[in-house]
Structure 1
Amino acid sequence: MLVELAVADAYGAGFEYADPAYVTRHNTLAGYVRNPVHPRLGPGRYTDDAQMTLALAELLVSGRPWTREAVAEAFVTAFHRDPRQGYARGFQAFLEGVRSGEEFLARIRPDSDKSGAAMRAAPLGLLPTPADVLHHTDVQARVTHDTPDGVAAARAAALAVHYCRFGLGPVAGVGAWIADRLGSPVWARPWSGPVGAKGVMSVRAALTALAAGGSQSAVLRACVAFTGDVDTVATVALAAASWSAEIDADLPPVLVEGLENGPYGRDHLAAVDAQLP
């Protein structure tokens, strides 16, 4: 799962908020592209979506208590050992200025309803029961996104992974199942058009692409075709799609092999993945 979602993040990063005509022309899965809006994001490099997901995955497999303090410390550690582009400018400056989880919690204003808590929630979907998933997701979400929509989007993203991992129904029914679990019909409503920064937008778009099924390549292209905040859409969707027995695992080798493979790249992601529940 971690490799697939990192591929999705890195591929989607080439198209985040790019002109729709550019997306249409280059969204071919033939390789990574450099984002014309954010050219400092190198092709094949994952962004904050995958880095923060990795932080939570490493915390989960460590066996340490799942607390706000531990979550914050994991975020600080992941960023400072491997600083990278892709974070929102203000949050990146915030991370650069804190050196511990304690300092993070003392200084953060967790009032966002954007997609940060949802984009990183995938590993928590592997926990054995929906109650476990929701508890762990809520703790991590409220560290930075302690708002109704911020938490709900993270819950929906994690539950999508849980639904696919445990084969709880046909992939086309994922949105309806989540809507029933969370008591909100919004998750069963298909998304269309560009995706903004709000977490609910990204997760609804991801569920729409996921529910269409077919193959991982088809899901990835569909995520990017929405335009807007597509790296987050793709990260959420491919995390779940990687577990679905109905969705062919056909990501092009050029994307898998072209994903960065430094100290925290493809091989490290695969090693952590092997330890997840």
Structure 2
Amino acid sequence: MLIELAVGDAYGAGFEYVDKDVIHKYNNLEYRQHPRHLGTKPGMYTDDTQMSLAVAELIVENKDWTSVNIADKFLEAFKRDEREGYAAGFYHFLKKTESGDEFLKNINPSSDKSGAAMRAPVIGVYEDIKEVLEKTEIQAALTHNTKDGINAAKASSLITHYFIWEKGQKKDLAKYIKSHVKGDWLSPWTGKVRSKGWMSVRAAITAIQQTNSLAELLKACVAFTGDVDTVAAIALAGGSVCKEMKKDLPSWLFSQMEDGSYGRTYIESLDKKLKQI
């Protein structure tokens, strides 16, 4: 799940908010350099994956699920491996913040954008849906303590939960989420995905329900245009644990992913630990 999330993020990073004609020409399942974000090279992941790694580490380390522990993990993951991809304001906030307590004291948690949703899929590993929703809300409220921000995160974590714990068929995913989280999750998404969290999640749900393989899914996520790395990260995490989805991502999307201290090998090892939860 984590490695597919990272593949979706890294692939989508080359197409985030680029012109539609560029996507039509180059959406061919090969990593691509973004025309403006030159610090993120082909095969590098962004904040979507980095924050997901922080959440996953908290899970496998079995630490208390407290706001300060979560904030400490966000800072730890960022400071050991600073990278582009974060919103400018949040990036500078992380740069100058030294502890979880300081994070909680100074953060403005009023966002309704996609940050809380993009890091939520890994929480779906818990079997108890009440635990999934409670832990998702706690982590979301640190930065996105708004109705839409929290609901988007809950819907995101339920995508993976639904498939991991075999709650139903792919065609009924949106209905399941609608039964547990307020929001319009049933209407298929069309067109550009902008910055609101619920937009990325709804687009991910639509792409999962309308495709039958991970390769199709990844291309469909990018074809929406807009905030496609977040859509692809959420959707690929869900699709990777869906038994109805053919696992046909090209091998080079894995082999060409960055493999530094917290790259592909580290992500795959963390993935294995998550499966033991």
Q: TM-score range by the shorter chain?
A: over 0.9
Does structure 2 conserve the Cα–Cα contact (< 8 Å) formed by 1:5 and 1:239? yes
Tell me what 1:158 maps to: 157
Which amino acid in 1 is paired with 2:18? A
Moved more, 223-232 or 248-257: 248-257
Whole-Å separation in 2 of the counterparts to 1:94 and 1:27: 34
Moved more, 9-18 or 251-260: 251-260
TM-score by length of 2: 0.98
Tell me what 1:144 maps to: 143
Whole-Å separation in 2 of the counterparts to 1:35 and 1:243: 29
Does structure 2 conserve the Cα–Cα contact (< 8 Å) formed by 1:172 and 1:213? no
Moved more, 149-158 or 247-256: 247-256
Q: How does 1:161-176 map to 2 (within 5 A)?
A: 161-176=160-175
Whole-Å separation in 2 of the counterparts to 1:54 and 1:220: 20
TM-score by length of 1: 0.98
- 1:189 shift after superposition: 1.0
Does structure 2 conserve the Cα–Cα contact (< 8 Å) formed by 1:16 and 1:227? yes
Whole-Å separation in 2 of the counterparts to 1:127 and 1:118: 17
Whole-Å separation in 1 of the counterparts to 2:25 and 2:195: 23
1:271 pairs with one of 262, 269, 272:
269
Does structure 2 conserve the Cα–Cα contact (< 8 Å) formed by 1:216 and 1:249? yes
Tell me what 1:198 maps to: 196
- 1:41 shift after superposition: 1.5
Tell me what 2:124 maps to: 125
- 1:183 shift after superposition: 4.1
- 1:38 shift after superposition: 1.9
1:226 aligns with 2:224: yes
Tell me what 1:11 maps to: 11
Whole-Å separation in 1 of the counterparts to 2:18 and 2:39: 14
- 1:78 shift after superposition: 0.2
- The Cα offsets for residues 95-130 of structure 1, whole Å up to 9 and x where unpaired, read as 101111111111100000000000000110110111
Whole-Å separation in 2 of the counterparts to 1:254 and 1:25: 19
Does structure 2 conserve the Cα–Cα contact (< 8 Å) formed by 1:213 and 1:246? no
Tell me what 2:245 maps to: 247
1:70 aligns with 2:69: yes
Whole-Å separation in 2 of the counterparts to 1:162 and 1:5: 15
Which sections of structure 1, spanning at least 5 residues, go unmatched?
none
Which sections of structure 2, spanning at least 5 residues, go unmatched?
none
1:96 aligns with 2:116: no
Identity of aligned residues (%): 48
Whole-Å separation in 1 of the counterparts to 2:151 and 2:36: 30
Q: How many residues align?
A: 275
- The Cα offsets for residues 151-195 of structure 1, whole Å up to 9 and x where unpaired, read as 0000000000000111111112111110111244x0111100000
Moved more, 71-80 or 33-42: 33-42
Does structure 1 conserve the Cα–Cα contact (< 8 Å) formed by 2:173 and 2:209? yes
Whole-Å separation in 1 of the counterparts to 2:196 and 2:242: 26
Backbone CA RMSD of aligned residues: 0.8
- 1:213 shift after superposition: 3.1
Whole-Å separation in 1 of the counterparts to 2:155 and 2:40: 28
Tell me what 2:210 maps to: 212
Does structure 1 conserve the Cα–Cα contact (< 8 Å) formed by 2:151 and 2:182? no
- 1:37 shift after superposition: 3.0
Which amino acid in 2 is paired with 1:237? A
